[in-house]
Each structure stands twice: as structure tokens, then as C-alpha cells.
Amino acid sequence: MLFAALLVAASLSPVTAQPEQDWSEIVRGDPATGLVALTFDAGAEAGTAAPQVIQILHDRGVKATFFLSGNWVSRYPTLAEQIKEDGHEIANHSLTHPDLTRLADNQIVFELDYTDQVVWDTLGVHTRPYFRPPFGARNARVLSVAAASGFRSVLWTLDSADWVTRATPGAVADRVLRFAQLGDIVVEHVASQATAEALPTILDTFEERGWRVGTVSDVLGLPRYDPT
């Protein structure tokens, strides 16, 4: 009888619902945060622009999100270490910067998981939960495979167009300042000299507007995850 009573009591006990993980693609943050998220993709090259970008953010005390490829981290471990030491959010940009829609499922998993391992081995942090597909190339299959590996896609609200062959600092600054709104996620490239030279103007103008700059987590209003 006692056993039966316990079974009945257990069946009547309230079950605490676990919050369901949101794997939907991120393209915009929350304007109520008063923030704009600056994000920097690092695919293969660094040039002289990457140290310049990192130094400007360091001098201004600005935190951003860096989407790093595994090959970039392996090639520029000192720069990657500086990004971590400055407190920036580190996310995944694949290993070899391929078009993920052209890869098999297991190849997609390898691109993301191996990059996470490279970053862990080099910096002692992980890249989950955020990744950005190279070229913005993704489909439902890519997003599903990535989610199964613990990665949520982050696209952007505003493309700075700093990747255009003839991009200039003036054009990049004008585009960002003309179209940016609170809650936006802006994509730039760490190797772009145009971005490196436009960045002080962008940060100064945002400050004049009373806008703050932060990471993807910040602009979503989410706490920073523990990368260790």
C-alpha cells in the first residue's frame, strides 16, 4: 500500500518544465538594450588591418564578437590570444571558410567541431553557441546540422560592405552610420583596411548618438556564456 501511495504522489507532483533551447537564426538584437553589436569575421587573412582593429577596440574599451575560423587562429595565435584577453566574445566561423551548403553533413560537423577544438587548444575557450556561415551561405539542412552540434547561426542586420574590392574608409563609415539602428548586428571583417580606418569615426558617432556597442549576447539581452 505504501508503494502504491508513493506512486500516486509522484504522479501528482508538479513537473518543472525545462526551457526549450532557441535554435532560430539570429539576424537582429533587441533595440531596448540601447546597443549595436559590432561583429568581425576572420576567415583567412589578417594583414595590417587586424592588429589595428583589435588595438582600436582595446583603446576604446569596446567589446565585440569575433567569428574566427580555425585556420585563422592557427595562423595568427597571438592576435587570437589578444582578442580573448581583451574580453571579446569568440564565436565559430568554420575551419577552412567553405560554402557549407556544398558540404555533406559530416563535413559541416567537422568544420565546426574541429574549429572549436583548435580554439580550445589555442585559447582555452570554446566557440559555442554562436557560428556564422562563411559568405552567409546556409540552408535549412546546414542550420539543422549545426544546431545538432550545439551551434546557432548568427547572420547580420547590416552589411558594412567592407569586403567590396574598392571599399574605402569613407564608404564603410557612411554606410554603417547611415543605416545602423539600435539592436542591429553589423558585420565587418577583421582584415579590412577600410574597416580599420573607418572604425574610430563609427565609434565616435555612435557615442555622440548615445549608443553603446556590445557583443551579440549583449544586443540579444542575454548573459555571456561561459566559454570555458
The CATH number that applies at residue 105 is 3.20.20.370
Looking at per-residue pLDDT, the higher value among 185 and 48 belongs to: 185
pLDDT digits (tens, 9 = 90+) for 192-218: 999 999 999 999 999 999 999 999 999
Beta pairing partners, 36: 213
Q: 100 falls in which pLDDT band (50, 70, 90)? A: very high
Query: Phi first, then psi: what are they for 26, rounded to 5°?
Result: -95, 125
For residue 69, the model assigns a pLDDT of 97
Out of 30, 41, 59, 116, the active site residue is 41
Query: Phi first, then psi: what are they for 175, rounded to 5°?
Result: -65, -45
Note whether residue 33 is domain-resident.
Answer: yes
Note whether residue 101 is domain-resident.
Answer: yes
Note whether residue 169 is domain-resident.
Answer: yes
Note whether residue 67 is domain-resident.
Answer: yes
Average pLDDT over residues 147-176: 97
Query: What single letter denotes the amino acid at residue 40?
Result: F
Note whether residue 152 is domain-resident.
Answer: yes
Note whether residue 19 is domain-resident.
Answer: no
Out of 97, 126, 189, 218, the active site residue is 189
* Helical (H) or strand (E) element with 143: helix 140-148
Burial class (CB in 10 A: 0-12, 13-18, 19+), 154: buried
- Which percentage of the chain shows pLDDT scores above 70? 90
Structural domain tally of the chain?
Answer: 1
Note whether residue 71 is domain-resident.
Answer: yes
pLDDT digits (tens, 9 = 90+) for 11-40: 444 444 444 666 689 999 999 999 999 999
* Helical (H) or strand (E) element with 107: helix 105-123
189 is catalytic: yes
Q: How far is CA 16 from the centre of its chain?
A: 32
* Helical (H) or strand (E) element with 3: helix 2-12
Q: 90 falls in which pLDDT band (50, 70, 90)? A: very high
For residue 45, the model assigns a pLDDT of 80
Asked if pLDDT for residue 62 goes beyond 90, the answer is yes
For residue 20, the model assigns a pLDDT of 60
Q: What is the DSSP string of 41-60?
A: EESS--TTHHHHHHHHHHHH
Note whether residue 104 is domain-resident.
Answer: yes
Domain of residue 122, residue span: 24-220
Residue 219's CB is within 10 A of a number of other CB atoms, namely 29
For residue 21, the model assigns a pLDDT of 66
